[in-house]
A and B are shown apart, each in its own frame.
Chain A
Amino acid sequence: MKKTLALILALTLVFALAAPAAFADDAFKLGSSGPLTGGAAIYGISVMNGIQIAVDEINAMDDGFKFEFKSQDDEADSGDKAINAYNTLMDWGMQVMAGTVTSGSGITVAAQAFEDRTFMLTPSGSSPDLTADKDNAYQVCFTDPAQGTLSANVFAESFPGAKVAVIYRNDDAYSQGIRDTFVKEAAAKGLDVVYEGTFTDSTSTDFSVQLTAAQAAGADLIFLPIYYTPASVILQQANQMGYAPKFFGVDGMDGILTLEGFDTSLAEGVYLMTPFFAHADDERTQAFTAEYTKRFGEEPNQFAADGYDAAYILKAALQAAGCTPDMSAADICDALVEVITTISYDGVTGTGMTWKSTGEVSKDPIVVVIQDGAYVTPEF
């Protein structure tokens, strides 16, 4: 027992000593919160890595503009943990927030940030509720309804006459949000939705029922507004059944090629809509992908790209508003709210990004298809 205690004490001391050194006062304090532990940690860690790269690049420029960055874990919780993470950042002296990573915690934090007058730009919180009725909350990613509408448009143009099945997760706001607008738009555009299957977090390991029903309904195009982990199971099981419809995913599908233990040949021919394409031709994306791969040993996904862009967008906005690091968070917030709708930004997740006063971003999505283990622009 004594040995264990001694070991724990020693470990504690080591961790305490390893705390990072403090920065100078001439830097803006940039905070972000997201899931860094638990099942959704992959998204949070990607975003934080993306922000970290952007912050390091910004600090290396000699234009006198500096960020000091700190991230906190909110375990993707929409209640107490989200607020605890936000409060910890506020105690640290956060002036602008590049968070949160998930929508659920974002809605909670945004309400609190609205009261406190803290400006927040969420890299990947896609729910429209996050920005609704608040002038201080903006998004880098598409909203869920926007993805639903865009998908329905692509379906109507590129797959006319297809029999569409939708498999979505009905205990997840993201999935449900996309599905709701998709089905509404699909009906308006005369698309033939022949089957809708649902699953929940606890039933995301077996899709034989949904796939059999979709096959029986004659679906030849399956829309998957879900994240890539359950999608990988669907692809596997469909393959085992010998059922080969076209699959179409949204931005949550991004990352399926880097999923461990997944046979990527199964993802061949899968369409997905993503704002980010790691192998795009432009210089910025290539530089970002190279740096990210070098540092973290894997290709960046769209979450990392969203985080990367968020830090640069905040820099552009802070400079446009003429903010200085000695201003309070509330003053910065008011100044940023004035300018955010006037700036236009070219980043790795889109060019000519502009913001509406509702908080929503305007940018073009990219539809890609997976071929030979890489994303390529599809020919319809």
Chain B
Amino acid sequence: MNLKKRFKEAKSDYFTYAGVILAFIVISVLKANGGLNRSQTGLLVPICCYIVMAVSLNLTVGILGDLSLGHAGFMSVGAFAGVITAMGLYNVIPSAPVRLALAMIVGAFFAAVIGFLIGIPVLRLTGDYLAIVTLAFGEIIKELITCLLVGVDAEGLHIIFNVSGSKTATDLNLLEGGRVIIKGAQGATGTKTIASFTAGFILIMITLVIVQNLIRSRHGRAIMAVRDNRIAAEAVGIPVTRYKMMAFVTSAALAGAAGALFGLNYSNLAATKFDFNTSILVLVFVVLGGLGNIWGSIIATVILYILPEALRSFASYRMLIYAIVLIVVMLTTNNPVLKTYREQLREKFGKNKDKEATGA
């Protein structure tokens, strides 16, 4: 790796930061001047969450090269850990931003712990096997949270693990003035919403700093070496499991933080929200944006998240058109004729050649 190339890669990182900051400033100004309507404003926080989800999944799928189908599981762990934290501390810490920050940290922590525990068996596998095990893990998390009853009162947290399904929120035996945070299948209800667009922006920036620096570091190169050729990487003495774990746990922690932000944006959140479909949705963002391409993940997330909302005027044809657009976009981005055409364009305008080449 020569210096010139490194500098160019770093430059593309700075472009990403600059782009995100610019978007944040433009949107904030628009929002302050009433340039956004309600539905557009309402999309901001979930978009931030899904961007973090996509970027973090890109770390597992694009950089580490392991197909994970259970990313929503980490989001779920983070969301419910975050909601419990924020609601549990509701009477202790009056400041909403502080509670939100704490909730995201706790969400990230628990998701990382779960990511580590899952990683021990999972990362011994590769390819299809790993994909299926992560898929199963996502379903297990969903089932477990469905069994969870959590409440808080003056004595602290009360948690029941309702495996038989025969217990209800009254079994928590909360004192007067206590509140139920998670009611099993009904999920977290009555959550006080404290998530904000600014928090979402900060989370995206932190995610970008962590992921991009990890990729450009020595560890990142080791992780990519494992992706490109595991045997060769092992032969040159790279501890494969350690680096796999590093990428996997980082990815899980970021998804957990995104989950906490997401969970605190809605007053009701059921575990079934974070099912297989959500994992696939995020995977679609990543694949469409380009595996390993961080900037692409961000753009793809924004476009694909807004698309079904923008298509609302088509009423019942909405999801059909969404699906058609997805197919068309996937086909066009991989069409050899169009690829050559793009190459020609690029040669004409010369400049951007190196930057694009990094997105493998």
Footprint of B on A, CB under 8 Å? Answer: 1, 4-5, 8, 11-12, 15-16, 19, 36-38, 72-73, 77-80, 82-84, 87-88, 90-91, 104-105, 107-108, 111-112, 127, 129, 132-133, 170-173, 175-177, 180, 183-184, 196, 198, 200-202
Q: Are B268 and A88 in contact (CB under 8 A)?
A: no
Partner of B335, one of A1, A73, A90: A1
Q: Are A79 and B324 in contact (CB under 8 A)?
A: no
14 A–B pairs (Cβ distance < 8 Å), ordered by A: A15-B317, A78-B187, A78-B269, A87-B38, A91-B37, A104-B268, A107-B268, A132-B190, A170-B165, A170-B185, A171-B146, A171-B271, A173-B270, A196-B166
- A185 CB, nearest partner CB in chain B, Å: 13
- A282 CB, nearest partner CB in chain B, Å: 33
Closest to A105 in B: B268
Q: Which residues of A contact B189 (CB under 8 A)?
A: 107, 129
Partner of B268, one of A36, A38, A87, A108: A108
Task: Report how many residues on chain B are interfacial, defined by Cβ distance under 8 Å.
Answer: 49
Q: Name the residue among A82, A83, A111, A171 with the largest chain B CB count within 10 angstroms.
A: A171
CA distance in complex: A4, B331 (Å): 11
Closest to A169 in B: B185
The 8 A-B residue pairs with the shortest CB-CB distance, nearest first, are A111-B267, A107-B268, A173-B186, A87-B39, A80-B46, A87-B38, A87-B42, A108-B268
Closest to B325 in A: A8
Q: Are A90 and B186 in contact (CB under 8 A)?
A: no
Partner of B312, one of A11, A12, A72: A72
Partner of B39, one of A73, A91, A198: A91
Total A-B residue contacts, Cβ distance less than 8 Å: 126
- A221 CB, nearest partner CB in chain B, Å: 19
Q: Which residues of B contact A171 (CB under 8 A)?
A: 142-143, 146, 185, 271-272
Partner of B38, one of A11, A19, A90, A172: A90
Q: Are A176 and B39 in contact (CB under 8 A)?
A: no
Q: Which residues of B contact A84 (CB under 8 A)?
A: 39, 42-43, 309
Partner of B270, one of A11, A19, A104, A200: A104
CA distance in complex: A175, B189 (Å): 16
Partner of B318, one of A37, A91, A180, A201: A37
Q: Are A180 and B268 in contact (CB under 8 A)?
A: no
Q: Which residues of A contact B142 (CB under 8 A)?
A: 171
Q: Which residues of A contact B266 (CB under 8 A)?
A: 78-80, 82-83, 108
Q: Are A202 and B318 in contact (CB under 8 A)?
A: no
Q: Known contacts A72-B312, A77-B273, A78-B273: does B46 contact A177 (CB below 8 Å)?
A: no
Closest to B268 in A: A107
Q: Are B313 and A16 in contact (CB under 8 A)?
A: yes
Residues 312-360 of B contacting A (Cβ, < 8 Å) = 312-319, 321, 324, 328, 331-332, 335, 337-338
- B173 CB, nearest partner CB in chain A, Å: 15
Q: Name the residue among B266, B268, B273, B319 with the largest chain A CB count within 10 angstroms.
A: B268
